[in-house]
Homo-oligomer: A and B are copies of this chain.
């Protein structure tokens, strides 16, 4: 149980103005908390965000080699193996050997995988709504544009959208 303490000690500790004034600090902190939040929600659904990312990329890029999936998402290739193993066990993706180069695997979504992607998409959108709640539609668009610009500036993989 919380002890009663004088006012001056009970005020909740706040982050120093110097850090609040730093966009970099806000980005890093917000990024971490968003990641934690998303991780938690997904775990409750029995999935990981990484799996969602893979499903999303497969939904767009048709079938793909594992190496390009890993490169696009910034995963380690060894890391991706486990993610794909799990998705395959659940019947959400399919690995086929490339007959032209038998070292390669072609990965593709199954119909069940597409269905699951729709469900997970809803989870993401629901969290996004909750996080961005204090911003109106215009502010959200503006924020998104700024983030995209900044991200593309330091990583060409983000430059995808026109």
Chain A residues close to B by CB (< 8 Å): 12-35, 37-38, 53, 56-57, 59-61, 68-69, 71-73, 121, 124, 127-128, 131-135, 139-140, 142-144, 146-161
CB pair A15 B142 closer than 8 Å: no
Main secondary structure of the interface of A (DSSP, over half): helix
User: Which of B16, B34, B71, B160 contacts A57 (CB under 8 A)?
Assistant: B16
A26 cross-chain contacts in B, Cβ below 8 A? 144, 147-148, 151, 158
- Select from chain B the residue with minimum beta-carbon distance to A71: B13
Residues of B within 8 A of A148 (CB): 20, 26
Given contacts A68-B13, A73-B15, contact A146 B143 (CB under 8 A): yes
Copies of this chain present in the complex amount to 2
The reply to whether A38 and B28 contact each other, CB–CB distance below 8 Å, is yes
Known: A13-B68, A14-B160, A148-B26. A19 touches B53 (CB 8 A): yes
Asked whether A20 and B124 contact (CB < 8 A) given A31-B29, A38-B28, A147-B27, the answer is: no
Q: Are B15 and A24 in contact (CB under 8 A)?
A: no
Instruction: Determine the distance from Cα of A45 to Cα of B66 in the docked complex, in whole angstroms.
Output: 38
Option from B24, B30, B34 in Cβ contact (under 8 Å) with A128: B24
A109, chain B: closest CB distance, angstroms: 12
